[in-house]
Amino acid sequence: MSTVEEAYEHCALVTKEQARNFYYGIRLLPPDKRSALCAVYALARIVDDIGDGDLPPEAKLQGLADIRKSLGDLSASTDPVYVAVADAARRYPIPLGAFEELLDGVEMDVTGREYVRFEDLVEYCRCVAGSVGRLCLGVFGSKPEPEAPTYADELGIALQQTNILRDIREDLLNGRVYLPKEDLDKFGVELKVGEDGRLADDGGGLTALVHFSAARARDWYARGLKLVPSLDRRSAACCAAMSGIYRTLLDRIDEQPSLVFDRRLSLSGREKAVVAVRALTGIGR
């Protein structure tokens, strides 16, 4: 049993420890919004961790179903994460149904969904990341802008496409391929990790595919970032920092695709802090 205050403290700790990229943006929010976004993050983290964990698929699906049930009656739970999400949802118009979409997306991971067309991948990205964008928007609030949820959705989808490029090797080692089959075929790529532990790029098809996918992801950033002018200053800074860090990762991958062939690419703490400061001061937005 935890008080609401303790519940928020728990979520803040989880976010600080685990949101290695997004915390740089979240900390730019004023305290109330920061706490609410940490609650959203902590619940999304629980869902994601089930998907990425070591349990057998049936147990994962059961875990996801249990969360779905808890979401149906948030006030019944004494778990600090649900306590904090319930309070945040009372204070901000958080579209809780978006958590259900996140659950749908993680279920796709568990059941081993294949992505044949890019549109199939977009559907997955909308569930696992567009949903998070719309949850963030609930906390940010926006000036009257009917397209705001669409932009938030598109920004999340842009981030997820970046995440997929960053993690191609790691995902493949875990038996997951997110790059659509139609794109792999178009570039003559058969994803495999060689004996040296690197992604094979015989003939340069994978390099070309990464450039192609990065250019497409950039279009989604351009659309999603139309959200920023409709946000208040601190929410705009948070949004610009979160997307700026991922956008910088995308640029780096596009400059040198081989960076993601043998490891997970990340920015240094200093590089992320520079993006966050620029977001706060409005530079580069």
Ligand X SMILES: CC(C)=CCC/C(C)=C/CC/C(C)=C/COP(=O)(O)OP(=O)(O)O
Residues near ligand X (CB under 6 A) are 20-22, 129, 132-133, 136-137, 152, 155-156, 159-160, 163, 227, 239, 242
The residue among 29 and 209 lying less far from ligand X, judged by its C-beta, is 29
Please, what is the minimum distance in Å from the beta carbon of residue 98 to ligand X? 10
Q: CA-CA distance, 192 to 200, in Å (whole number)?
A: 6
Q: If residue 234 lies in a helix (H) or strand (E), which one and from where to where? A: helix 233-255
**In this structure, what token pair is assigned to residue 203?**
């003939």
The residue among 206 and 242 lying less far from ligand X, judged by its C-beta, is 242
Please, what is the minimum distance in Å from the beta carbon of residue 208 to ligand X? 23
Other CB atoms within 10 A of residue 58 CB: 9
The residue among 46 and 184 lying less far from ligand X, judged by its C-beta, is 46
Residue with tokens 């601190």, as numbered in its chain: 234
Q: Shortest CA distance to 237 belongs to which of 25, 93, 32, 89?
A: 25
**3 state DSSP class of 20:** coil
The residue among 137 and 275 lying less far from ligand X, judged by its C-beta, is 137
The residue among 7 and 158 lying less far from ligand X, judged by its C-beta, is 158
Which residues, in sequence order, are CB contacts of 83 under 8 Å at separation 6+?
2, 4, 7, 77
Please, what is the minimum distance in Å from the beta carbon of residue 114 to ligand X? 20
Please, what is the minimum distance in Å from the beta carbon of residue 12 to ligand X? 16
The residue among 86 and 136 lying less far from ligand X, judged by its C-beta, is 136
Residue with tokens 């961790």, as numbered in its chain: 49
Contact status, residue 47 vs residue 67, Cβ threshold 8 Å: yes
Please, what is the minimum distance in Å from the beta carbon of residue 55 to ligand X? 18
**In this structure, what token pair is assigned to residue 273?**
């802090």
CA 268 to chain centre: 19
The residue among 187 and 210 lying less far from ligand X, judged by its C-beta, is 210
Q: CA-CA distance, 81 to 87, in Å (whole number)?
A: 10
Please, what is the minimum distance in Å from the beta carbon of residue 45 to ligand X? 7
Q: Which position's Cβ is nearest ligand X?
A: 133
End-to-end CA distance of the chain: 43
Please, what is the minimum distance in Å from the beta carbon of residue 196 to ligand X? 24
Q: CA-CA distance, 47 to 110, in Å (whole number)?
A: 12
